[in-house]
Chain A
Amino acid sequence: MTQQNRISGGQIDTSQTLKFTFDGKQYTGHPGDTLASALLANGVRLMGRSFKYHRPRGVLSAGSEEPNALVELRGGARQEPNTRATTVELYNGLLANSQNRLGSLKFDLLAINDRLSNFLTAGFYYKTFMWPAAFWEKLYEPIIRKAAGLGSLSLKEDPDVYDKGFLHCDVLIIGAGPAGLAAALTAGRSGASVILADEDFRMGGRLNSETFTIGDASGADWAAATVAELASLPNVRLMSRTTVIGAFDHGIYGAVERNNDHVATPDEGKPRQTLWRIYSKQAVVCAGALERPIGFENNDRPGIMLASAMRSYANRWAVAADKRVAIFTNNDDGHRAAADLHAKGVKISAVVDTRADAPRNNDYEVLVGAQVIDTKGRLGLTFADVRLADGSERTLECGALGMSGGWNPNVHMTCHQRGRPVWNDDLAAFVPGADLPAGMTVAGAANGDFSTAGAMASGVIGAKSALKAIGLKAKTTKLPQAEDAPINISAFWYVKEGKGRAWLDQQNDVTVKDVKLSHQEGFRSVEHLKRYTTLGMATDQGKTSNMGGLAIMAELAGKTIPEVGTTIFRPPYTPTAIGVLAGRARGQEFHPKRLTPSHHWAKEQGAVFVEVGNWLRAQWFPQKGETHWRQSVDREVIATRKSVGVCDVTTLGKIDVQGADAAEFLNKIYCNGFAKLAVGKTRYGLMLREDGIAMDDGTAARMAEDHFVVTTTTANALGVYRHMEFVRQCLFPDMDVQLISTTEAWAQFAVAGPNSRRLLQKIVDPEYDISNEAFPFMACGNITICGGLRARLFRISFSGELAYEIAVPTRYGDALMRRIMEEGAEFDVVPYGTEALGVMRIEKGHATGNELNGTTTALNLGMGRMVSKKKDSIGSILSEREGLNTDDVLMQVGIKPVDPSKPVPAGAHLMNLTGPVDADHDQGYVTSACYSPILGHHIALGFVKGGGNRKGEKMRLVSPLTKVETEIEIVSAHFVDPEGERLRA
């Protein structure tokens, strides 16, 4: 098929030919073409099918507001559903397929809906499908879902990568048409830092689609020359192929740059698109205006398009929409399409103008005071029937019809912060209201200045007011002469004649009749109209349909258009790939990885790792022959309790608390007392929230009179630090206390087990005596190891064994772990992971996150007495509330299976031995469970109502979810070494 609709001129490079396929057929186009212009050039008018009735549809526009020409671009994993053919830059080898059809684009079986459209009016589905009840999920909904939807995803992982970035500028100019270019010249020449962004791959806006001159150059040439000057200014950043998607608070704009959508596949490592967060002091919106269609019977046939689009295809892309065209307009601007196409040798059947006083023309016939009342040609326009002013009827032969119902200023961006546009009667359109986002001015057609001269002048004014607002002086910009004709519109929304199937929303198939039905059934607010009929809810978000709909509703409801008002404009301005909004945070980089100092060593041992927040921690260290994790974990627990084990505990939060009031400060944040803690001693601390519920626990080691090292749980490290800064800065601002996190500054290892001291004595330098007498339980101190390396030692034990925690500056963590393993060989030292640590702390009865779950109090945890009443501390008052201190309050207990072979799984609930098993009789729940290799059976910790005095009681553990029910006995939570002799050995 040759490009039979190509005509002369245009901004395309005919010296190069690009091959592309659409629905399996090969076509050719040229650089500078869009997929839409190339298809039209090859005589293809049928490009898609509408959503509900599957009517055949052709391209309506030439830009991102396109409702009809949606294709599945590319193939395989890169398939992009619902892509607007009007915004796809043609490249060699481009692959596109039509979508939303059952069968071929020409013979879509679902077009049966169009035959039944009288039964399938707006909102019909709310009134049926209710009987029989079960049929909805089984029959009706599956059918509807299969028929609905538009394009389809490949469901393969998106192979492209996306970038995110941050830009700062004095003035952001949105849109590079005549107004935007004039604004950029003014701001750029003043030396301000300027960003000029435009969604198109060629800057110039309407200048590239119209034929009038600016000064003595063509509009397009003036645009090109201006872009060249702007490119030479270092303080101006030109961003074509960049859509500003939203105006957010305080001058922040989101913009998506399409770096590589115009090539088949991006180069390796290069992003498909970039999401820019632009911080602007001032913004000038020059987003232009969008032309409106007119409602008339069958105004949706392929070949019927906006008059401005017809001009774009002719002037910019050298494509005649058809051999023979007609125009239907209610303003002077529509006539330009006839003039431009006539000048390029295209036959003009006639210009149908609703106005009695429409301007005549001697090159083509103008039918004044006339209306198009119907059209013919199912898969492509063939004829248009016209009602003349005198009532007679005429039929025009035409393969394309340009509609011009006037222009809507593009107020989208000005309403993203809930501002509302205001109605302008002379323009018969909404223009930006006064309540604009901070720092925003509007210029050009977006503000209702439709003429080129008007747009350029208001662009300069807009830039000047932006510069003034940031205290910059603008040099005067002398503008060349440009056309300044008014468009003399007289509002005309729809032709009243005809059976009423006049299309407003061509993608969601909403007709004038649907608006009438919506009014008839009481859905009269513009929001009810939208939601009941789905007008304006399609992928173009009503850019070419909302205005007609609300104008007709105003007429029906006897209200003015401003009284009906608009629905809410919401970001993004045009649909935005979810991939670009996620940026590089994909796959393994979703969150950063925090590695412990011994990570590399642990990997060498073949450790199995587990995610703990953003940390990766060794969970267990499988050895040859071990096939199940329980074998490894039991071995690690037994070896540690029998001799010695080492575990990397760096991930626990560590906070340096210094200053004269450090002790007093700890007294405020911990419910137990710290004032009298001796230097060289450590104490367990329970931290409450102000509501009296336990927040976190840890140890505080007094390294010096005015220096504590405080530990937190891994999960709460960030939250505890933030809380401590709140208490310091907001509650006790005059306390002399300084905080800084040292979590990652020190590598810290727990060395636990009866031989832990013997092992450490081979590492700690001899001048430091770490015997039980010199370094008793809960001692702490600065030491040196391995011949003088500064380190810290703490006699604290989470495992319940005789244990120390030794810390060195992180750079030496790896080396220290390897040294501990060497020196510990004679004691058969084993590394143990988080799983074994978990078993040992459950055996010992120590609470962790499962117990400190944000709803448990000191009393629940068996630490009620720790809440000192003698001093003020966060949470102590509200911990006294009656509901937290009932006599049947939950208490932490140990749980043992009566039959030793049975598990006691976490998450199970506890019921009395007899009686109903339901929520009303729930006695508590199991928080942590494990197999204890020391005791030879499963054990667990949990909470039971009045647990304090139910030791020895038999109860039922139930887990209906996992079909477990077993008899258990309530015991002390301290399964191993309840008296703590090992700790003090």
Chain B
Amino acid sequence: MIINHPLLGPRDASEFTYLGDASLIDRPDWQSETAAQDFYEYQYLRDNPAGLHQELWFHESGDRSWLVVTRNTLTHEITDVQLARDVARARGRSK
């Protein structure tokens, strides 16, 4: 597959390492009362859709950026690629 890296342009997906659903960015608050349940669902449950899927790829033999790729799991068509850092910030993550 080809991932169109936002900085480096199209690169063979074999340069990347796949982690999983981009929901891994939304790590729960460790201090909420429902932390145990939140962390269980965060760590173990997945939508695993047959269709558009936001997922995390690491540019292992490239620039060591994490990317959030939006890909159709039926056709493998990729419709969007962003730096994970930007997505994380957009989802309110900071320090």
Q: Do A and B interact directly, with beta carbons closer than 8 Å?
A: yes
A contacts, CB < 8 Å to B: 248-252, 277, 279, 417, 438, 661, 664, 690-691, 722, 725-726, 729-735, 872, 876-878, 880-881
Of the candidates B76, B78, B84, the one whose C-beta lies within 8 Å of that of A729 is B84
Contact of A877 with B35 in the complex, beta carbons under 8 Å: yes
Instruction: Determine the chain A residues whose CB is within 8 A of the CB of B36 once the complex forms.
Output: 877-878, 880-881
Contact of A876 with B93 in the complex, beta carbons under 8 Å: no
Q: Does B80 sit within 8 A of A, measured CB to CB? A: no
- For the complex formed, measure the closest distance between the CB of B53 and the CB atoms of chain A, giving whole angstroms: 15
In the complex, residue of chain B having the shortest beta-carbon distance to the beta carbon of A877: B39
Contact of B93 with A731 in the complex, beta carbons under 8 Å: yes
Contact of A731 with B40 in the complex, beta carbons under 8 Å: no
User: Considering the chains assembled together, what is the distance between the CA atoms of A407 and B21 in angstroms?
Assistant: 47
Of the candidates B31, B56, B65, B95, the one whose C-beta lies within 8 Å of that of A732 is B95
- For the complex formed, measure the closest distance between the CB of A689 and the CB atoms of chain B, giving whole angstroms: 9
Contact of A876 with B85 in the complex, beta carbons under 8 Å: no
Known: A250-B76, A722-B58, A872-B30. 17 other contacts (CB 8 A): A249-B1, A249-B76, A279-B10, A664-B95, A690-B27, A726-B56, A726-B58, A729-B65, A729-B83, A729-B85, A730-B88, A732-B94, A732-B95, A733-B94, A734-B89, A734-B93, A872-B31
Given A690-B39, A725-B64, the answer on whether A731 and B27 have CB atoms closer than 8 Å is yes
Instruction: Determine the chain A residues whose CB is within 8 A of the CB of B94 once the complex forms.
Output: 732-734
Contact of B35 with A726 in the complex, beta carbons under 8 Å: no
User: Considering the chains assembled together, what is the distance between the CA atoms of A733 and B2 in angstroms?
Assistant: 26
User: Considering the chains assembled together, what is the distance between the CA atoms of A492 and B59 in angstroms?
Assistant: 56
Instruction: Determine the chain B residues whose CB is within 8 A of the CB of A722 once the complex forms.
Output: 17, 58, 60
Interface flags, B8-50, vs A, CB<8A=1, else 0: 0010110001010000110100110001100110110000000
Contact of A733 with B89 in the complex, beta carbons under 8 Å: yes
For the complex of A and B, the 4 pairs showing the least CB-CB separation, nearest first, are A250-B2, A734-B94, A249-B1, A872-B30
Contact of B2 with A729 in the complex, beta carbons under 8 Å: no
Instruction: Determine the chain B residues whose CB is within 8 A of the CB of A881 once the complex forms.
Output: 36, 40
Of the candidates A249, A438, A690, A729, the one whose C-beta lies within 8 Å of that of B66 is A729
Contact of A733 with B88 in the complex, beta carbons under 8 Å: yes
Instruction: Determine the chain B residues whose CB is within 8 A of the CB of A277 once the complex forms.
Output: 12
User: Considering the chains assembled together, what is the distance between the CA atoms of A252 and B76 in angstroms?
Assistant: 13
Of the candidates A279, A730, A877, the one whose C-beta lies within 8 Å of that of B85 is A730
Given A251-B2, A279-B2, the answer on whether A730 and B84 have CB atoms closer than 8 Å is yes
- For the complex formed, measure the closest distance between the CB of A655 and the CB atoms of chain B, giving whole angstroms: 12
- For the complex formed, measure the closest distance between the CB of A439 and the CB atoms of chain B, giving whole angstroms: 11
Number of residues of chain B lying within 8 A (CB) of chain A: 37
Instruction: Determine the chain A residues whose CB is within 8 A of the CB of B88 once the complex forms.
Output: 729-731, 733
Instruction: Determine the chain B residues whose CB is within 8 A of the CB of A880 once the complex forms.
Output: 36
Contact of B77 with A438 in the complex, beta carbons under 8 Å: yes
Instruction: Determine the chain B residues whose CB is within 8 A of the CB of A877 once the complex forms.
Output: 30, 35-36, 39
- For the complex formed, measure the closest distance between the CB of B20 and the CB atoms of chain A, giving whole angstroms: 11
Interface flags, B49-71, vs A, CB<8A=1, else 0: 00000001010100011100000
User: Considering the chains assembled together, what is the distance between the CA atoms of A730 and B89 in angstroms?
Assistant: 8
Contact of B19 with A726 in the complex, beta carbons under 8 Å: yes
In the complex, residue of chain A having the shortest beta-carbon distance to the beta carbon of B78: A250
In the complex, residue of chain B having the shortest beta-carbon distance to the beta carbon of A438: B77
Contact of A691 with B58 in the complex, beta carbons under 8 Å: no
Provide 21 A-B residue pairs closer than 8 Å at the C-beta atoms, listed in order of the A residue: A248-B1, A249-B13, A250-B76, A252-B1, A252-B2, A277-B12, A661-B95, A690-B43, A722-B58, A725-B64, A726-B19, A729-B66, A729-B85, A732-B95, A733-B85, A733-B89, A734-B94, A872-B30, A872-B31, A876-B30, A878-B36
Of the candidates A250, A664, A732, the one whose C-beta lies within 8 Å of that of B1 is A250
Instruction: Determine the chain A residues whose CB is within 8 A of the CB of B83 once the complex forms.
Output: 729
Instruction: Determine the chain B residues whose CB is within 8 A of the CB of A690 once the complex forms.
Output: 27, 39, 42-43
In the complex, residue of chain A having the shortest beta-carbon distance to the beta carbon of B94: A734
Given A250-B78, A438-B77, A877-B39, the answer on whether A733 and B93 have CB atoms closer than 8 Å is yes
Instruction: Determine the chain A residues whose CB is within 8 A of the CB of B17 once the complex forms.
Output: 722
Contact of A878 with B43 in the complex, beta carbons under 8 Å: yes
- For the complex formed, measure the closest distance between the CB of B10 and the CB atoms of chain A, giving whole angstroms: 8
User: Considering the chains assembled together, what is the distance between the CA atoms of A250 and B64 in angstroms?
Assistant: 23
Instruction: Determine the chain A residues whose CB is within 8 A of the CB of B89 once the complex forms.
Output: 733-734
- For the complex formed, measure the closest distance between the CB of B95 and the CB atoms of chain A, giving whole angstroms: 5
Contact of A730 with B30 in the complex, beta carbons under 8 Å: no
Instruction: Determine the chain A residues whose CB is within 8 A of the CB of B19 once the complex forms.
Output: 726
- For the complex formed, measure the closest distance between the CB of A7 and the CB atoms of chain B, giving whole angstroms: 51
- For the complex formed, measure the closest distance between the CB of B6 and the CB atoms of chain A, giving whole angstroms: 13
User: Considering the chains assembled together, what is the distance between the CA atoms of A725 and B66 in angstroms?
Assistant: 8
In the complex, residue of chain B having the shortest beta-carbon distance to the beta carbon of A735: B95
Instruction: Determine the chain A residues whose CB is within 8 A of the CB of B27 once the complex forms.
Output: 690, 731
Of the candidates B1, B25, B42, B77, the one whose C-beta lies within 8 Å of that of A730 is B25
Instruction: Determine the chain B residues whose CB is within 8 A of the CB of A726 once the complex forms.
Output: 19, 24, 56, 58, 66
User: Considering the chains assembled together, what is the distance between the CA atoms of A729 and B35 in angstroms?
Assistant: 22
